[in-house]
Amino acid sequence: MIERARIKLSPWQQAAVAVGSAVGALLDPRRADLIAALGETTGKPAFERVLERMRRSPEGRAVLLERPRVISAKVGHAWDLPENTFGAAYARFMGSRNFSPDDRPPVRFMDTDELAYVAMRAREVHDVWHTLFGLPTNLIGESALKVIEFEQMHLPMCLLSVVGGTSRFNAKQRKLFFQHYFPWAVKAGFQCTDLMCVYYEQHFHEDLEDVRRKWGVIPAPTAPK
C-alpha cells in the first residue's frame, strides 16, 4: 500500500511548493524530500502519460495490478541470489553504499492512488536503474541518470536536476560529462525499452547481462583516464 497521508493543494499552493522546492533543491541537492516534492508538483502530466503507457503494456498492467514495492521486506531475497544475477547486482549496489530500499520519502501531492503509486514506483526503481546502467552515485553519475530519466518519463524535475547538477561541476567534471557521459546518456535513454513498464522483481533471478540485452540497456562506458 502507498501511504494515504497525501495533501490536496490548490494551483497557487502547488506553484508555491514547486518554486520553494526548486530553490531549496538547487541550494542543497542532497535534500531528497525537496526533490521529491518538486517532482510531484511539476510532474503530474508526465506521470499521467507514464500511467497510460503502463496500462497499454502487459507487464506494466501487471505492475499496476499487483503494485509491487521496492522495499526491504519485498526485495530482501536479492541478497541471496547467485552472483551473476540482476538481483544480486542490485544487492551489491545497495550494500556497497550502505543504502536501504526503505529510504525513499513518501508521495504527498498526487491526486489519486494510482498516480501516487506511479510516482512512488519511479522513485523506488531509481537505484534499480543505477544498477542496470552501471552508473555511480557521484554528481556525474546522478546527472547522467537524470538525463535517462527525463527521456523515459519527461519529468521537468529531471531536467532541472541536470541543470542544477551540472552547474556544480568544476571545469574537469563539466568536460567529462558533456564529452563523455551526456552523449551516452542521450543514446541509452532513447534506445532502451520503456523502463517504467518493467516488473523488475520478476527478473531478479535472471543474468544481469541477459536482462540488459533484453531491455536494450547500454551500460555506462568507462571514463577515460
Return the percentage of the chain with pLDDT > 90, whole number: 69
Q: How confident is the model at residue 131 (pLDDT cuts 50, 70, 90)?
A: very high
**Is 60 exceeded by the pLDDT of residue 148?**
yes
pLDDT at 91: 98
Segment 17-34, tens digit of pLDDT: 445 655 555 555 556 666
Numbered residues of the known binding site for Zn(2+)? 126-127, 130, 142
Helices (H), 68-170: 72-75, 86-96, 113-124, 126-133, 139-153, 156-167
Segment 85-101, tens digit of pLDDT: 999 999 999 999 999 99
How many Cα atoms are found within 13 Å in the side-chain-facing hemisphere of 112?
Answer: 8
pLDDT at 108: 81
Which whole number is the average pLDDT over 106-133? 93
Segment 178-219, tens digit of pLDDT: 999 999 999 999 999 999 999 999 999 999 999 999 999 999
Which whole number is the average pLDDT over 70-83? 97
CA distances from 186 to 44, 57, 214, 218 (A): 23, 24, 19, 11
Angle between helices 58-66 and 44-56 (to 10 degrees): 110
Average pLDDT over the chain reads 88
Q: How confident is the model at residue 77 (pLDDT cuts 50, 70, 90)?
A: very high
Numbered residues of the known binding site? 126-127, 130, 142
Least confident of 69-83, 136-150, 157-171, 186-200: 157-171
CB 103 within 8 A of CB 71: no
Least confident of 79-88, 116-125, 161-170, 184-193: 161-170
pLDDT at 1: 45
Least confident of 3-12, 66-75, 170-179, 200-209: 3-12
**Is 90 exceeded by the pLDDT of residue 2?**
no
Query: When comparing pLDDT for 104 and 49, which is higher?
Result: 49
Calculate the dihedral angle through the C-alpha atoms of 206, 200, 86, 100, rounding to the nearest 10 degrees.
-150
pLDDT at 12: 47
The DSSP H or E segment spanning 48 is: helix 44-56
